[in-house]
């Protein structure tokens, strides 16, 4: 047994009768079911309240008998339990730590998942319970150009998403329809321009037992909680599937640290002409194509020395649909410029063509660009995408201006814009002046339009109006010369 004595004295203080001077909490340890603990209370306090711990929450109980100053407490039967796993959707599934799990209803409690990604609450029999999950993940962890590419291909009906959880991850606007708005918002975060996707939670947690409707998984409201009204038994399989919003390919690995290990053998290269630069001048640095054959896109952080350069402008080149939204400029003061560009249809660009150009004000002179301009992954991870969307390593290739670039090449470019509804322009490059034929076919292979003429060496383009086509849909265009030919696809929309 033990005794607790309380003593306090202040001759100058007067209090009304019945004033509570202090509250005392006494905690008892665990005991076998049916055992009894006797406590003697002398000089009875104003009030006595007895509670039982339920997963960290004090719940009032009525298992107490108070007779003649003695309190008899009988251990209650064990609580029922509700719990489950929280894991990612992509196989092999991974546990998700750091999830805030909230229990509401008859009792309220919360806990945060550990590395095992599990939760467990003790609840009284016949209680009403609802469990929901929340996780905050600022930044672009798990979000890349690959996700943007998947949405683009789905929207343009080139390659449909296969998992209902991909639809959930892609629908960041929450309107139940996948659109260009969704990939634009994901792209902002992938570029580091924003820390969270506009109008979206960072994660959604869906009961594993939920069955998505087909063929459209987004056609019905998706539950985000698990309830029991009331609890009549223990439920230990109340599992949730965790979906990182924007992570359409399910690449996030919440229980592992990214050490930038990469065993991909293919390398995507930007060709840059090395040069000297002098303080006070403004220089242009073209990023040129090098073996740019059937590429679907790229992303990276362009690192520059902020003590040597100040970004003064960005000029798009031959890549289709490139604009200011393809660049992130929020961390220029640290020397980080992010860029991300993807296309639904693979693109081939002739060696030496300018993909985009960066303009810099020179703050400090130097003899070479290589030490002050290089690719990195500090904000946006450096990687490129082949024709199938597979990832490639990415690097810069510095060449001396005297090596030159062969401009005498044949190339057929993607029409701009694509998809289109009013007019579109097809550009191409010829190694020498001469006769060429540009033909357009519908999806059935029927010839729709032919343009034949003599074209100059170098870059040429032809513009077509909507009324020169038939109904909306997929069309193909082909450029043919006596020595070369190439074909690409374009889409006419309403």
Where in the chain are the domains? Answer: 1-77, 79-254, 267-403, 411-492
Q: Report the distance separating Cα 143 and Cα 151, nearest Å.
A: 12
The sheet that has 485-492: what strands, in order across it? 447-455, 434-442, 473-480, 485-492
3-state helix, strand, coil in the chain (%, to 5): 10, 40, 50
Q: What separation, in Å, do the N-terminal and C-terminal C-alpha atoms of the chain show?
A: 86
| Contacts within 8 Å (CB) and 24+ apart, 159-165 | 161/248, 163/89, 163/90, 163/250, 164/212, 164/217, 165/89, 165/90, 165/206, 165/241, 165/243, 165/250
pLDDT score at 260: 41
The pair of three-digit structure tokens given for residue 364, joined into one six-digit string: 């400090």
Q: Report the distance separating Cα 20 and Cα 261, nearest Å.
A: 64
What pTM did the predictor assign? Answer: 0.67
Q: Report the distance separating Cα 198 and Cα 182, nearest Å.
A: 9
The reply to whether 267-403 and 411-492 are identical in fold is: yes
Q: Report the distance separating Cα 189 and Cα 194, nearest Å.
A: 5
CATH 2.60.40.680 fits 267-403, yes or no: yes
Sign of the four-CA dihedral 259, 263, 269, 272: positive
pLDDT score at 175: 95
Cβ–Cβ under 8 Å, residues 349 and 355: yes
DSSP state of 93: P
pLDDT score at 265: 54
Tokens 């309403």 map to which residue?
Answer: 494
| Residue ranges, the chain, pLDDT below 70 | 1-11, 18, 21-22, 24-78, 256-265, 401-409
Alpha carbon separation from 490 to 296, 423, 452, 466, 469 (Å, rounded): 15, 12, 20, 13, 12
The partner residues of 70 in beta bridges, in order of sequence, read 40, 67
Half-sphere exposure of 14 (CA within 13 A, CB side): 0
CATH number of the domain at 411-492, out of 3.40.50.12500, 2.60.40.1930, 3.40.309.10, 2.20.25.10?
A: 2.60.40.1930
């Amino acid at each position: 047994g033990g005794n607790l004595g309380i003593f306090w004295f202040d001759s100058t203080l007067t209090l009304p009768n019945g004033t509570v001077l202090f509250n005392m909490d006494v905690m008892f340890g665990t005991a076998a079911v049916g055992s009894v603990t006797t406590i003697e209370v002398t000089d009875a306090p104003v009030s006595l309240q007895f509670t039982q711990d339920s997963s960290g929450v004090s719940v009032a109980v009525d298992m107490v008998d108070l007779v003649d100053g003695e309190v008899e407490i009988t251990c209650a039967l064990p609580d029922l339990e509700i719990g489950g796993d929280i894991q990612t959707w992509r196989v092999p599934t991974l546990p998700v730590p750091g999830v805030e799990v909230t229990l509401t209803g008859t009792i309220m409690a919360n806990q945060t998942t550990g590395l095992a990604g599990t939760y467990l609450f003790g609840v009284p029999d016949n209680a009403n319970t609802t469990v929901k999950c929340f996780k905050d993940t600022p930044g672009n962890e798990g979000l890349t150009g690959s996700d943007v590419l998947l949405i683009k291909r789905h929207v343009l009906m080139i390659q449909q998403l296969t998992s209902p959880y991909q639809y959930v991850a892609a629908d960041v606007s929450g309107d139940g329809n996948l659109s260009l708005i969704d990939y634009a918002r994901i792209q902002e975060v992938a570029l580091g321009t924003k820390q969270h996707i506009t109008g979206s939670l960072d994660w959604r947690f869906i009961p594993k037992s939920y069955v998505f409707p087909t063929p459209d998984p987004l056609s019905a409201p998706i539950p985000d909680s698990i309830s029991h009204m009331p609890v009549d038994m223990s439920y230990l399989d109340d599992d949730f599937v965790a979906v990182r919003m924007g992570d359409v390919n399910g690449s996030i690995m919440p229980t592992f640290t990214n050490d930038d290990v990469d065993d991909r053998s293919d390398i995507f290269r930007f060709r840059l002409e090395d040069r000297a630069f002098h303080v006070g001048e403004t220089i242009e640095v073209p990023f040129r194509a090098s073996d740019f054959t059937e590429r679907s896109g790229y992303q990276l952080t362009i690192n520059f020395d902020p003590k040597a350069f100040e970004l003064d402008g960005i000029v798009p080149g031959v890549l289709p649909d490139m604009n200011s939204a393809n660049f992130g400029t929020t961390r220029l003061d640290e020397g980080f410029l992010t860029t991300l560009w993807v296309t639904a249809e693979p693109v081939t660009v002739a060696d030496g063509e300018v993909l985009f150009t960066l303009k810099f004000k020179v703050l400090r002179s130097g003899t070479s660009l290589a030490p002050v301009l290089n690719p990195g992954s500090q904000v946006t991870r450096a990687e490129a995408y082949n024709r199938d969307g597979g990832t490639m390593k990415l690097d810069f290739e510095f060449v001396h201006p005297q090596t030159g670039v062969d401009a005498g090449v044949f190339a057929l470019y993607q029409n701009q814009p694509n998809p289109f509804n009013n007019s579109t322009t097809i550009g191409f490059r010829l190694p020498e002046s001469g006769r060429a034929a540009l033909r357009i076919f519908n999806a059935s292979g029927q010839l729709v339009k032919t343009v034949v003429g003599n074209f100059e060496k170098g870059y040429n383009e032809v513009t077509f109006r909507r009324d020169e086509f038939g109904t909306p849909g997929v069309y193909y265009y082909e450029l043919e010369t006596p020595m070369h030919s190439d074909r690409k696809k374009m889409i006419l929309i309403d």
